[in-house]
Amino acid sequence: MHFDLFVIGGGSGGVRCARIAAAHGARVGIAESTHWGGTCVNIGCVPKKFMVFAAEYGFNAEDAPTYGWDISKGSHHWPTLIAAKDKEVSRLSSIYSRLLDQAGATIFNAHAHFLDTHTLDVGGEKITADKIVIATGGHPERPDIPGAELAIVSDDAFYLAQKPRRIAIIGGGYIGVEFAGIFAGLGAETHLIYRQPLPLRGFDEDLRLSLAESLKDNGVILHPDTIPKSIKQETGEYHLALSDLTILETDLVFFATGRAPNVKNLNLAAAGLETAPNGAIPINDALQTKIPHIYAIGDVTDRLNLTPVATAEGHALADSLFGPNPRTVSLKNVATAVFSIPPIATVGLTEAEAAAKGPARIFLTKFTPMRHAITGRPRKTLMKLIVDAQTDAILGAHMHGEDAPEIIQGLAIAIQSGATKAHFDRTIGIHPTAAEEFVTLRTQTRIAGEESK
């Protein structure tokens, strides 16, 4: 069996690439051995956000009496949440295979690996293709410590039979802080252990400080500057030894210590491909590997590991290979969100990144959102704009607070279009909203990077 294009991996990027290529008239095959829709739909951002919603309902129930509602919080029933999540995830996953079928792609529910540069073994069937796309995503990693096998990783968290009473989460990245908010919000004693002084390494420093405060306000017990040393199982519980000599007694240990590209069992050597030390497949701006007719997209390249990036790459590649308008994907000013409670959203440069390039004007505000003027909940919203001191261009926009992802999405369009602070200042806000603060920031907080002049 021969194809114009064969895609290995049925996640968001792979499915989009296969579907668009088929719509352009190419003969397309695609293989997926586990979940159609990939990590995001099945064991990632989609089910995780449902779980964030569940935790937020608990906070809303606590706050409702201040608005006159006769509501008591009660207890949370974990199996109900998991069953509802599973039903919706199953529905979404089936949509991916249906879209492929409607586009005319040939679907293989099987593992694929290389036999040579043009030949694949797909579930025991030999298949050839003119062009091949690797879109196999990533997988969670475990640190190499004694007892690591006793802990779960993010894939496992979506299928727990019961909610733990006590949980220790190791890692201060997206996954760690999001699940810390989920489990604390659902009533578990939650510890968050991370090696940095603040969570979310690489994010703007003001966001990181604000997040640490909100985690504590939500009841998460923080262990900064700390790493795990070992895990031991005792009768009915786990003992987690930390580098500060603390021994945590907990019902569940959860590793959120990073992800690595899914390249195992692809037999890349047969195709003449090598990986970076972390397993990533190197590509050029056209998404080509060193073998010109073999491409790689999404998390397996470990460039910017976000579902919309993989989807955009898959679409652009299909258009470039088979459509009338070849194009590339820019990874500049890509917005992202962290679904902590409350969430973080950001686009563009951090203050430190901007300062390294030259002087930047900083506009910063932190306030109690309108909802909590009545509830009294100690929840703040932080908003920050970073402006090029010479050109007035908006270099970065950052927010930590309710509805942050919904607000920053619109700002991302403006920043991609080259908006300046003057454009923001001329825009009339929508009142009363938190979003209007971004167009009413008038008082400069400070200048960053003046020493770079």
Summarised one tens digit per residue, pLDDT across range 162-186 is 999 999 999 999 999 999 999 999 9
Task: Using DSSP, state whether 358 is helix, strand or coil.
Answer: coil
Average confidence (pLDDT) over 389-413: 98
Residue 107 CA to residue 4 CA, distance in Å, equals: 14
- Where are the domain boundaries for CATH 3.30.390.30 in the chain? 342-452
Residue 100 CA to residue 98 CA, distance in Å, equals: 5
Indicate the pLDDT class of residue 450, thresholds 50, 70 and 90: confident
Q: Which CATH number fits domain 148-257: 3.40.50.1980, 3.50.50.60, 3.40.50.1100, 3.60.110.10?
A: 3.50.50.60
Active-site residue 431, yes or no? yes
Buried residues in 102-141 as b, exposed as e (16+ CB within 10 A) = ebebbbbeebbbbeeebbbbbeeeebebebbbbbbbbbbb
The answer to whether residues 72 and 199 touch, using CB atoms and an 8 Å cutoff, is: no
The region of weakest confidence among 69-73, 119-123, 129-133, 177-181 is: 69-73
Q: What is the pLDDT of residue 8?
A: 98
- Per residue in 340-373, pLDDT (tens digit) is 999 999 999 999 999 999 999 999 999 999 999 9
Owner of token pair 């300062």: 355
Percent of residues, the chain, with pLDDT higher than 70:
99
- Per residue in 27-45, pLDDT (tens digit) is 999 999 999 999 999 999 9
Percent of residues, the chain, with pLDDT higher than 90:
98
Residue 110 CA to residue 148 CA, distance in Å, equals: 30
pLDDT at 452 over 50: no
pLDDT at 405 over 70: yes
Q: What is the pLDDT of residue 451?
A: 58
- Where are the domain boundaries for CATH 3.50.50.60 in the chain? 2-139+260-322, 148-257
Supply the CATH classification number for the domain 342-452.
3.30.390.30
H helices of 72-230, in order, are 78-103, 154-157, 174-185, 205-217
**Model pTM?**
0.96
Indicate the pLDDT class of residue 215, thresholds 50, 70 and 90: very high
**Amino acid at site 346:** T
- Per residue in 146-161, pLDDT (tens digit) is 999 999 999 999 999 9
Residue 228 CA to residue 252 CA, distance in Å, equals: 14
How is 251-312 classified by DSSP, letter by letter? SEEEE---EEE--TTS-GGGGT----TTSPPP--TTSB-SSTTEEE-GGGG-SS--HHHHHH
pLDDT at 453 over 60: no
Average pLDDT over the chain reads 97
pLDDT at 449 over 90: no
- Per residue in 256-301, pLDDT (tens digit) is 999 999 999 999 999 999 999 999 999 999 999 999 999 999 999 9
Supply the CATH classification number for the domain 2-139+260-322.
3.50.50.60
